[in-house]
Chain A
């Protein structure tokens, strides 16, 4: 019995239907000003010192002759307060982080600028850093964003090329001449190695401080800078400037930052494209061409080249892929082109919008079709190719095979390559309808004309291949299709042909 009601209603006193969503009506209870709360004054100077000592012992603050304000002392005290301890963060870890926080603040002359009262406790900082990683396992790719890697970070294992990459971009706090007086005077009692590590780590925590500064101080920093904290990993590495002069290059999937020595600059890529066009015409070696285009696209990407040339590269690759019936590759290009067109970079958007519609007819992806229709503007509809594709779509949607095959025979641009992919399928649909509707028979000539076949022989062959020779009969000199005897034969063949289309590179 108890299992038939949800638990939040199980208790007698819980409102049965009073909704979770009825507006909140808390009675307003005046709150004491925060500083007068009694228990906060219980702090004991000895705990303060006790807490303070272990935290600062490693940095030997006594020698720095820096006076710590009461705010910092209170902060340190909070760090060690038992109720603020987090089980998963050890005291040693916390102390290390605390030291970083204070050292950095001092190093950057920000000891008085920081709102210590609101500053996150080191254990919380540590926990958040961990959470970030937990929540987003791919976060290690942040190391590629040119930020200094902290010790032990996965990124240390990365190849040296990457460090070369990031060198010119390294953040100011990494540069040796950027250390200020305070840091020079701090004596690290640890080994040289240890102190270097501390430096690395503290740079990172400085970045954290910077973020918090922006959040709480209203210093007028622009929000855009905090983009590094966006929830997705920052794969963006900043553009590479290539210096490879070779025209041809095999495609390899990038697993690390690109090496400028192997990336071709735009001027070279333009020559590459000309070369590839010639080679395609002359040799027609699709495997080679496709590979070359992929490396061409990759070089454009890593250099952040996104202009009319980019569009033409994708368009040409898409057309070649279409011609060879490589719909997986074609679809990749098409997806990219859609984004590029939305940025008005030129090219031939209507030609490809038309292909897109035809493509989704083929894949019968109606959700994507809906998107494609949404992309078509009133202006686009005046374009013959777009108009054609839209008509093809609606003819099929309404089962108007008559119109469909008239459109098929008059397809602009390279749309016929796409229509060829589904024309047989639609012939079977049409035959299924014809066999249901016409009695007792029709001439093969009628089918040839109606379904866009090239000859009666081709029609007959098609009928035999998909049903049975029994359905054809010669009567007084004309071959007839015995529609009345077809039964479910074309229905079956149609269902067979409409099974899910499987395309490489498509889910």
Chain B
């Protein structure tokens, strides 16, 4: 009997979803390098269903309804085909293709979904659904890459020459199946203790990932709407496993982030950050990749040295920017943005990071304020900073901040514009008295709110 069949029986007898998911993981492991090939070789197309039926369900200890048995045999039969394609691919067979793997795997995913709708697969098997969905996505991406490397451009639509749609054809196809899984989880009417609703966040995250990949972030909104409409029937988010919560919160955070809704994004990303397993370095790094720009925009704070120290990539991205912001070095800031531009744009953090320039500018002008010293001391009064500052002093600071050369003319109107912006954004408190040519700043340590002066 095949090892996989034994694993299946074992998982089923114990009702262990994770163990069942392992059965449907189409990867040979170091411990068991032949698990796939031995499964594939244990039967052939001719005897497939018979062999499966007998090895999966004959014998003691397993009580499964006839319908469910048939459904599992169908899933395994499709799995067997898919494994055949995987093995062929790994062998470098001339007929092997990622597309063939995807197609076979898709059949399997459909057989599995059918098991849930028609044959009453129990909810404890959900990890298996996730695993099958996850690999469906993986294989679809591979198939799309393969197609992209092979095909020339095709003409998709009738009215216009260029269609951009075919590039993710396999993944879009896969997304439909995963979306089906989403519905299967969300709309399950079984009592909550045996409900597929427990799979909802995991599958949703998988679908998010998939929509991100096909550049259809907009579709994630539909999922959220559907979940919200059902929320009263879902178990509270806290009662889900942390891996589900963290992944879900991360994606919700990123979705808000892409909408430039940084306050909301920060909330979800912070939750993800706090709950994330400490050893999941890659995931922690990803959370911070978005959380750091959020913090910059919403609270004007920068990542600490300790925080960046454990993440070399983040250190590279954010350290130079942070230093320039802190010093009020506009030229350095612009250079760091330009140097990182490609990566920042790729990761979609360019636009929020760009806003850091305002903070750098604030810091530069703040130095002007501090350099201005104090008013003539009055008897018995604590010293008060000079609060009327000529606009030309800010202009001079800008020349320093932008490393202006001797000849560069400073446009006072532009200096005023920058000042007016900082005031408008609440980074500076006071007003511009244009005719008199100076800025009147707030006294009582409120000129640059939150910075102690």
Q: Footprint of B on A, CB under 8 Å?
A: 2-11, 13-15, 18-32, 34, 37, 39-40, 74-75, 78, 81, 83-84, 117-120, 128, 131, 135-136, 214-218, 220-221, 223-224, 226-227, 229-232, 235-236, 253-254, 258, 294, 297-298, 300-302, 304-306, 310, 314, 332, 335-336, 339-340, 343, 366-367, 369-370, 373-374, 394, 397-403, 432-434, 436-439, 442, 446, 449-450, 507
Contacts and interface: CB of A to CB of B under 8 A. Distances in A.
Contacts of A398: 354-355, 357-358, 421
Q: Identify whether the interface residues of B are mostly helix, strand, loop, or mixed.
A: helix
A24 B161 contact: no
Contacts of A5: 239
B161 A301 contact: yes
Most chain B CB within 10 A, of A136, A236, A343, is at A236
List the 8 closest pairs (A to B, CB-CB), nearest first.
Answer: A8-B17, A339-B162, A437-B420, A231-B173, A402-B417, A20-B18, A433-B424, A11-B15
Nearest to B236: A4
B307 interface: no
Given A373-B345, A437-B431, A215 B22 contact: no
A232 B169 contact: yes
A29 B354 contact: no
Contacts of B358: 398-399
Contact of A432 (B17, B239, B424): B424
The residue in B50, B122, B433 that gathers the most chain A C-beta atoms within 10 A of its C-beta is B50
A439 B431 contact: yes
Nearest to A294: B159
A400 B418 contact: yes
A366 B106 CA distance: 34
A336 B160 contact: yes
Contacts of A119: 45
Nearest to A74: B46
Contacts of B126: 6-8
Interface of B: 1-4, 6-7, 14-19, 21-23, 25, 27, 29-32, 34-35, 38, 41-47, 49-51, 53-54, 93-95, 97, 99-100, 102-103, 106-107, 110, 122-127, 130-131, 147, 150-151, 153-166, 169-170, 172-173, 176-177, 192-195, 198-199, 217-218, 235, 239-241, 258, 260, 341, 345-346, 348, 350-351, 354-355, 357-358, 411, 413-414, 416-421, 423-425, 431-434, 440
B16 A403 contact: no
11 contacts: A10-B194, A11-B14, A27-B3, A39-B50, A83-B49, A218-B94, A294-B159, A394-B354, A397-B354, A437-B420, A439-B432
Contacts of B21: 20-21
A20 B29 contact: no
Scoring A3, A366, A394, A401 by chain B CB atoms within 10 A of each residue's CB, the highest score goes to A3
A335 B35 contact: no
Contacts of B424: 399, 432-433, 436-437
A119 B160 CA distance: 41
Contacts of B350: 370, 373
Contacts of A367: 217, 258, 348
A7 B122 contact: yes
Contacts of A340: 161-162
Nearest to A5: B239
B4 A438 contact: no
Given A20-B21, A23-B29, A398-B354, A6 B158 contact: no
Contact of B3 (A6, A29, A336): A29
A310 B18 CA distance: 55
A366 B351 contact: yes
Contacts of A217: 95
A37 B54 CA distance: 11
A40 B416 CA distance: 90
A36 B90 CA distance: 27
Nearest to A399: B421
Contact of A8 (B27, B45, B127): B127
A314 B49 CA distance: 56
Contacts of A254: 158-159
A31 B17 contact: no
A438 B431 contact: yes
Given A26-B6, A402-B417, A437-B423, A230 B99 contact: yes
Given A83-B53, A236-B156, A400-B414, A224 B94 contact: no
Given A24-B27, A397-B351, A507-B218, A218 B93 contact: yes
